[in-house]
Amino acid sequence: MQDTTMVRNIAILGHGNSGKTSLVEAMLYTAGKINRLGKVDDGNASMDFDDEEVNRNISISASFSNYSWKKTDVYLIDTPGEDSFFNETITAANVCDSAVFTIGAVLGVKGQTKKFADLIDEHSIPSMIVITKMDRERADFFKTFDQIKQNLPVNPAIIHLPIGNEENFNGIVDLVSNKAFVFEDGAKGSVKETEIPSDMADDVAVYRESLMESIAETDEDLIEKFLEEGELGEEDLKIGLKKAIVDGEVTPVCVSSGTLNKGTTPILDAINSYMPAPSDVTPRSGINPNNDEAIECLPDSEASFAGFVFKTMADPYAGRLTIFRVFSGTLSGESFYNANKKTNERFGNLFLIEGKEQRQVDSAGPGMIVAVAKLKETTTGDTLCKSDAPVVLEAPDPLSPVITYAVSAKKGDEEKLFSSLNRMLAEDLSLKMSREQQTGETLVSGMSQVHLEVVGNIIKRKFGVEMELSLPKIPYMETIRGTAKAQGRHKKQSGGRGQFGDCWIEISPIPGENFEFVDKIVGGVIPQQYRPAVEKGIQEAMERGVLAGYPVTDVKVVLFDGSYHAVDSSEMAFKIAGSLAFKQAAPDAGIVLLEPIMDMVITVNKDSVGDIMGDLNSRRGRVMGMDSVPKGEVVTAQVPMAEIQTYANDLTSMTGGLGMFTIGFSHYEEVPAQITEKIVAERSKE
């Protein structure tokens, strides 16, 4: 087992196209983990191996690898940068001790960059920033650094100052050691010490002093030393910088070109020197499920074992792959206890996941990310431990889905489709499936249309069934505004025994009560055995609707008169009579159409508020309130479901991907007359 102080556990974070996967590829290649430097654009990067990722040139799922560098074992999670798969990134942030945050030197800090910076800030994750793509045309290190300083909730301090820019990016000055290094030829990632270029001497002096100040300000002893001596030595800087990073007071800034493998060796060294080991961060706390006592999961290989399951992968051949982070103790052997399910689970082999490959290991200690296959009970969010020392670690809530489609199998293999979808639900917690009773549709909800399309493609490839998406039908309802009386009379005589049923009913609205039936028959004008049939006939008529074929709700029906025939009356005849009576009474009572109204909470930046308000008004929405929060403005509104079925796509367009919203059912409301006419016309065509 590796000494825990020589372990690092890191999430690579950053918005789409910021160079995360290329940087990881270069790190693995330089460390000797892989023997070929792959490229995302060529579809041969070791961490973007899924067909869907190769086709789209983006990371869709968190991927894993590890490397050893100068006796330190580093476990990496390469996370997606697209909004559609942000839940994967949140999950990775929850289990890692630190983060490498990538920002492109060409695009700089964009709105999406802030989303990742907020995630790091919210979880208090010690982090370092790597300004990537330094070799690209229009790459601007100092402009990007200024944007970081002005726009992100971090205190950035340059530790690697680039030598050259764009195609002339050929080295770095390490401001901690005050030494210059040039990149050696051959994309091996290696560097050679050299003299600090004379034209950089002033910049090096300015930024080195700034680094000293940033570090000194975080420690009383260091500030005193800095004020007395005017500078800090290399050892003081190293110790002070690591402490400041762990405490979240300073974020060091490095540079790289992942595709050319430049700057990687200094980054690997910086990870070893400054990123925290599991023993440097606050131990994860859990609860003993037997007595609710708080328990600290100490990052010590000799402590009692505790691991947290943060991802499940469905594989048609290997079965379910369960991935977990070890927080304390050492796992070996062939079983562990699932504290959430209160059951022992046996497992076969213990694996390290390395891109698309798996490597068997005998044991796993604090900081390690490992996997086992074919567990029966364990799912994402469960805590694994020893049965004599149970602990439950808190699981983060998955993001709520924001877009919903009706789903069906293209070639009619519904059973296979829904079985495949159920397996995907275990893998992707931001995916939800439900059934709309009224319309009979199966609904699947996710983070975006792209998210659901990707799920469909994965199901087709893994399980051989095609999923078709369509906009769901709106579950409209019908109700009445007033009171009306009507007779329902069913009489049929065509030789032999006839059919006769006759009833009088009065209907009136009862908002929020669905349906109430009151029997006020006096004197046996309708015998007792036929009255339930009248009620059943009315309910069937209500289910089929009167105005546009949607169920009728919130109606009170009083049965008060009628007649019968001693021979020809029957339950069926009175059932038909009840149905006829309701259909005649409903139009006289003012039958109207109701639509579902949704509660929406929309978070946007201040610049977008006007557009959002105008757009909500155009959707027949009502703005209920507005509040300022650190991340922008929160608009609460109520909007008809029919107007926001593709709102996720529209909000992305309006806000440049910076808007977020949650949605939930509120109530039903009457549809305006002109819209009712259109809906009725469309239904009659159907």
pLDDT 10s digits, 481-497? 999 999 999 998 776 67
Q: 362 pLDDT exceeds 70? A: yes
- Evaluate whether 393 touches 308 at the Cβ level (below 8 Å): yes
Report helix, strand or coil for 321.
strand
The structure tokens listed for 438 are: 């009224």
529 Cβ contact list (under 8 Å, min separation 6): 571
- Evaluate whether 495 touches 461 at the Cβ level (below 8 Å): no
Between CA 449 and CA 131 the distance in angstroms is 31
Between CA 683 and CA 686 the distance in angstroms is 5
Tens digits of residue pLDDT in 373-393? 888 889 999 999 999 999 999
Residues 83-104, mean pLDDT to the nearest whole number: 91
The structure tokens listed for 101 are: 């945050």
Looking at residue 625, its pLDDT comes to 92
- Evaluate whether 633 touches 627 at the Cβ level (below 8 Å): yes
Q: 411 pLDDT exceeds 80? A: no
- 518 φ, ψ (degrees, to nearest 5): -120, 125
Looking at residue 315, its pLDDT comes to 65
Residues 493-522, mean pLDDT to the nearest whole number: 89
Looking at residue 383, its pLDDT comes to 95
Between CA 307 and CA 655 the distance in angstroms is 39
CA angle 7-62-246, nearest 5°? 40
Report helix, strand or coil for 115.
helix
**428 pLDDT tier (thresholds 50, 70, 90):** confident
479 Cβ contact list (under 8 Å, min separation 6): 509, 552, 553, 554, 555, 591, 592, 594
Tens digits of residue pLDDT in 557-612? 999 999 999 888 999 999 999 999 999 999 999 999 999 999 999 999 888 899 99
Where is pLDDT greater, at 185 or 11? 11
Tens digits of residue pLDDT in 652-682? 888 887 888 988 899 999 999 999 999 999 8
Tens digits of residue pLDDT in 107-146? 999 878 988 998 999 899 999 999 999 999 999 999 999 9
Strand order in the sheet with 484-492: 484-492, 499-509, 555-563, 515-519
**396 pLDDT tier (thresholds 50, 70, 90):** confident
| Range with top average pLDDT, 83-97, 493-507, 530-544 | 530-544
Domains of the chain are 4-280 (3.40.50.300), 291-393 (2.40.30.10), 403-470 (3.30.70.870), 478-589 (3.30.230.10), 594-685 (3.30.70.240)
Where is pLDDT greater, at 283 or 412? 283
The structure tokens listed for 459 are: 């199901």
Mean pLDDT of the chain: 90
Q: In this structure, what is the dihedral angle of CA atoms 244, 271, 284, 371, given to the nearest 10 degrees?
A: 170
Between CA 158 and CA 174 the distance in angstroms is 9
Looking at residue 668, its pLDDT comes to 94
Q: 56 pLDDT exceeds 80? A: no
Alpha carbon 43 to chain centroid distance?
25
Between CA 621 and CA 643 the distance in angstroms is 9
Q: 255 pLDDT exceeds 80? A: yes
Looking at residue 1, its pLDDT comes to 55
CA-based radius of gyration for the chain:
33
Residues 613-625, mean pLDDT to the nearest whole number: 94
Q: Which segment of 66-75, 418-427, 635-644 scores lowest on mean pLDDT?
A: 418-427
Looking at residue 45, its pLDDT comes to 73
Q: 318 pLDDT exceeds 70? A: no
Cα–Cα distances in angstroms (integers) from residue 657 to residues 422, 453, 471, in the given order: 29, 18, 22
- Evaluate whether 63 touches 355 at the Cβ level (below 8 Å): yes
Q: 52 pLDDT exceeds 70? A: no
Tens digits of residue pLDDT in 33-42? 988 887 777 7
Tens digits of residue pLDDT in 13-48? 998 888 888 999 999 999 999 888 877 777 677 776
Q: 450 pLDDT exceeds 90? A: no
Between CA 556 and CA 543 the distance in angstroms is 15
Alpha carbon 275 to chain centroid distance?
27
